[in-house]
Structure 1
Amino acid sequence: MKIIIIEDESLVAEELAASLKNCSEQIEITALLGSVKEAVAYFKNNPQPDLIFSDIQLGDGLSFEIMQTVPLNIPVIFCTAFNEYALDAFKANGIEYILKPFSTEELKMALSKFQNMQKLMSGQVAQQYQKAMETISNLQQPHSGTIMVKYRDRLLPFTLDKIALFFVEAETTVMLAHNGKSYVLTESLEDLEKRTSRFFFRMNRQILVNRNSIADVTDYFPRKLKINLSFTFHKDIFVSREKRSKVLAWLANKSS
């Protein structure tokens, strides 16, 4: 059984790996991953394991963001010190939710649950499970989801309708909320574009705008567009003539 551990505290990750190996000689720990960014890069370039043990609050965000970025149809056992994420965990392929500090007995019970599930996953049942995981994965894509923002020692949830735009300044990604506050993000504008493409449009290399932030657009010589926001912003937003038709089509579609 190949297992990957996602945990930002190295000592905790090593302790969990040792405890899992003591549970069964058949367990192989294939990777210890310490952040959302590292996990996304790993899953994009390596085969998926049989099972994932994951913390929820990582140094650069929530582990749910991994499932939102990379399509994973792998059962996940979440090990965390916080119980307020239980519902989200089971929406993100979770089959068990263990609160820290965990015991060996709890790990054995979680593994037993996974093994029993594996026995049931044969034939048509396996296909139904696969479809269910794909459906959950699609639901996790934040077309109508939430962006988690790390602010000081807290994680703040922002639904997409509360976000005015994302922009890059001095090589830093910044989120501007409709309440006027701005927050620095660790994600790139490219990643945010993929996650929010239903409601946001990449106007140019520096800015990603929510439809509900746009007051109107005006022609700008030669054959460009100027995006006028419904609030004051410190930068003018221009769309190239190459993107002009796509932006107009997107606006027309969103308005219909």
Structure 2
Amino acid sequence: MKIIIIEDESFVAEDLAASLKNCSPDIQITAILTSVKEATAYFSENPAPDLIFSDIQLGDGLSFEIMQAVSIQAPVIFCTAFNEYALDAFKANGIEYILKPFSEEQLRKALHKYTSMRSLFNGNLALKYHKAMETISRLTPDASQTIMVKFRDRLLPFTLDKIALFYVESETTVLHCFNGKSYIMAESLEELEKRTAPLFFRINRQQLVSRRSIAEVADYFPRRLKVSLNIPFHKEIFVSREKRSRVLDWLARS
């Protein structure tokens, strides 16, 4: 069975590839694609595999955009952090999914479902992807969305309600939890900003902060803002004059 993985987090893609190979010796990972742009170009030049495993949110858009741009006659199993309620549309349209963090048992069940329903996947799948994209595009992240962090030899899941802020220190991105623990991340603040808005806001170049972590915002000379968190943090946080109004608008809406 030839499988293509579409996933922008390299350690998640590598873990998925290894887990799939453990599920069956007949599985071949044909390619690992990391963006909408890369996948669109690949499928424009190469034949479709037997099956695709794909994340939904990629760094440059939603994976459904790939299916809209090129005709892909292959079923997709989505590996995603969206919660089950949000994904009812996939079940209604016959598209399988597994939630991050996934286990080999979940992968085996998904592969078994694909095998048993293979004949049903023939024909044009564009309508299914279009309906799924409409549903997901209307969603905004909630507290149950999961961020995956590679820690030593493990993948740790953190729901957004457990994360106080992300920050950059010595050119390294750090996830800081409400419980005071911190973890180094591979993603940039730009990537995390897209995934966590509007629950988090990039209040300056170094910090992407959860609304739940903000205890107080006060005026600070000259026309800046000083942000106080409701947890201990080793740095003072300031908002520039240029971002002042945007931050206040975000706080008023959230």
Alignment TM-score > 0.5, same fold: yes
The one-character-per-residue Cα deviations of 1:41-62 (angstroms, maximum 9, x if unpaired) are 73376547745444xxxxxxxx
Structure whose CA Rg is larger: 1
Task: State yes or no: 1:236 paired with 2:236.
Answer: yes
TM-score by length of 1: 0.65
Distance 1:202 1:43 in 2: 29
Task: State yes or no: 1:184 paired with 2:179.
Answer: no
Map of 2:57 onto structure 1: 68
Q: Is the 8 A contact 2:20 2:104 kept in 1?
A: no
Cα offset for 1:153? 2.7
The one-character-per-residue Cα deviations of 1:193-243 (angstroms, maximum 9, x if unpaired) are 001111111011110000111111111111111111112211111111111
Counterpart amino acid of 1:130?
Answer: Y
Query: Could you tell which deviates more after superposition, 229-238 or 188-197?
Result: 229-238
Count of residues paired in the alignment: 216
Q: 1:148 to 1:107 in 2, by over 3 A?
A: closer
Q: How does 1:150-165 map to 2 (within 5 A)?
A: 150-165=150-165
Q: 1:147 to 1:116 in 2, by over 3 A?
A: same
Cα offset for 1:140? 8.0
- The alignment partner of 1:148 has SS state of strand
Map of 1:113 onto structure 2: 117
Counterpart amino acid of 1:39?
Answer: T
- The alignment partner of 1:205 has SS state of coil
Q: Is the 8 A contact 2:215 2:230 kept in 1?
A: yes
Counterpart amino acid of 2:57?
Answer: Q
Structure 1: runs of 5+ lacking an equivalent: 22-28, 55-62, 80-84
Map of 2:245 onto structure 1: 245
Q: 1:159 to 1:3 in 2, by over 3 A?
A: closer
Map of 2:39 onto structure 1: 43
Map of 1:211 onto structure 2: 211
Distance 2:197 2:139 in 1: 14
- The alignment partner of 1:222 has SS state of coil
Map of 2:31 onto structure 1: 32
Q: Is the 8 A contact 2:140 2:198 kept in 1?
A: no
Distance 1:168 1:44 in 2: 32
Q: 1:44 to 1:246 in 2, by over 3 A?
A: farther
- The alignment partner of 1:231 has SS state of coil
Distance 1:109 1:164 in 2: 38
Map of 1:220 onto structure 2: 220
Q: Is the 8 A contact 1:68 1:142 kept in 2?
A: no
Q: Is the 8 A contact 1:226 1:238 kept in 2?
A: yes
Distance 2:163 2:111 in 1: 39
Counterpart amino acid of 1:68?
Answer: Q
Cα offset for 1:154? 2.5
Map of 1:133 onto structure 2: 132
Cα offset for 1:142? 3.6
- The alignment partner of 1:8 has SS state of helix
Cα offset for 1:116? 2.3
Q: Is the 8 A contact 1:165 1:177 kept in 2?
A: yes
| Aligned-pair identity (%) | 45
Q: Is the 8 A contact 2:168 2:174 kept in 1?
A: yes
Distance 2:212 2:5 in 1: 40
Structure 2: runs of 5+ lacking an equivalent: 7-12, 68-74
Q: How does 1:194-205 map to 2 (within 5 A)?
A: 194-205=194-205
Q: Is the 8 A contact 1:68 1:140 kept in 2?
A: no
TM-score by length of 2: 0.66
